[in-house]
Amino acid sequence: MKIYFYILTILFGLLTIQCSKVTLEEICGGTSTSGGEGSSTEGDNDDHHSYWYYSYEAAQLINAQTLGMAETDDFIPYTTAHLGDTLFVANMGKAGNSLQMLSIKEGGQQIGILQFWQVDGEEKCFESSIEAIVPTEGRLYVAERQSRIHVFRLPDLTYLTCIGNGQWSGPVFQAQAMTVTNGQIFARDKNGMVSVYKEEDAIPENYQKVNRYRRLSNNGSPGNNSFATHYMQTDDEKHLLLTDYEGKKIRVLDPSLVNDELVNGSSIDMDELALTLTFKPKTLALCGERWYATGDNDAINVYDRLSDQWIKQIKSVKGFSFAQPARIYAQNDSVLWVSDIHSSCRTLVKVQIHKGEIRE
């Protein structure tokens, strides 16, 4: 009986080792399914090996039906941003361009719509697609393709002023990406140059009369006659990250260089930090050690900052397959909002990022 006991013990140990190996390879291997991928690091005490597993799940789908709209094309989600509990969503639906406001806590319930406003007794509206939404303390900046940056007061969304006059020759040249930092408004022009405006100049008295403070070099960035989506935001180092669709890279700019002495046409690009890509990037979402980008490959491209590599293309997550993910936005390090504008989808997808550790 002792001989059989020893044999069974040895066999059980071998089976356990084999099963553990297969499980780790399946869960943490580079070719995983359902939007998952893994990486490994040594343990803090060097007595174990940690496998970090990332998986992605469609936690919520927002479309015309969930918003109570009559037809699918009534809701075509595009640019997104958030402030507190409010999710701002640009809608390119057939009823005209508008800004939808949804409650995050209430599961995407619609709490407001901004489509029309009054300026000196005249009704105004968004005359083209909304390319950028930037909420700041006390203000909401909304850039539309037709050479205008609208400024609204928060929280009541009363209209404050407009930068640009709708003309290409004006101070705004079809702004296709925008961010606000240190009292300055940075906007990517159609030709790849970056225009800078002062927040202090954006007041009612300067309606459509705000001039550029500075205009920066495109640093070799091609123009954008196809009106491809672009995106700009600050990172943890206070640099500006700007997607360059035709140039297949992510530009990195130093906004601290912009001052009264800077000559127009100067470059503030930090070429040594720029990311060169194999795809044409559209929008970017920063989530700590992982960055996510949409592009011309109709996928969510994953960049691992530790390895400095683009490691994965996500075409589907648990609960949703992407057809044309045009834009991606990070609410925080574990929540992404993805706008799929394909005619078969027309859906804003809340993607939950799950990260787990397996120790060996």
pLDDT at 222: 86
Q: For 63-116, what is each residue's pLDDT tens digit?
A: 999 999 999 999 999 999 999 999 999 999 999 999 999 999 999 999 999 999
User: Is the confidence at residue 174, as pLDDT, over 70?
Assistant: yes
Q: What single-letter DSSP state applies at residue 4?
A: H
pLDDT at 3: 34
Is residue 16 one of the residues assigned to a domain?
no
CATH number at residue 194: 2.120.10.30
User: Is the confidence at residue 226, as pLDDT, over 90?
Assistant: no
- In the chain, how long is the greatest CA-to-CA distance? 98
> Could you tell me the residue range of the domain that residue 328 belongs to?
56-359
pLDDT at 359: 83
Beta strands in 158-315 (DSSP E): 159-163, 177-181, 184-188, 194-198, 214-216, 232-234, 240-244, 249-253, 275-276, 281-287, 290-295, 300-304, 309-314
Under the banding of pLDDT at 50, 70 and 90, the label for residue 53 is confident
pLDDT at 358: 85
pLDDT > 70: what percent of the chain? 87
CB 340 within 8 A of CB 349: yes
Sign of torsion, CA 27 28 29 35?
A: positive
Under the banding of pLDDT at 50, 70 and 90, the label for residue 328 is very high
Is residue 17 one of the residues assigned to a domain?
no
Number of domains in the chain: 1
Is residue 46 one of the residues assigned to a domain?
no
Mean pLDDT of the residues in the chain? 88
Query: What's the start-to-end Cα distance of the chain, in Å?
Result: 33
Is residue 330 one of the residues assigned to a domain?
yes
Name the pTM for this structure: 0.87
* d(C-alpha 151, C-alpha 203), whole Å: 9
* Token pair belonging to 315: 């075409």
pLDDT at 357: 85
Is residue 48 one of the residues assigned to a domain?
no
Mention every residue, 6+ apart, whose C-beta is less than 8 A from residue 261. Answer: none
Q: For 264-292, what is each residue's pLDDT tens digit?
A: 999 999 999 999 999 999 999 999 999 99
Q: For 127-165, what is each residue's pLDDT tens digit?
A: 999 999 999 999 999 999 999 999 999 999 999 999 999
Is residue 1 one of the residues assigned to a domain?
no
Is residue 132 one of the residues assigned to a domain?
yes
Is residue 35 one of the residues assigned to a domain?
no
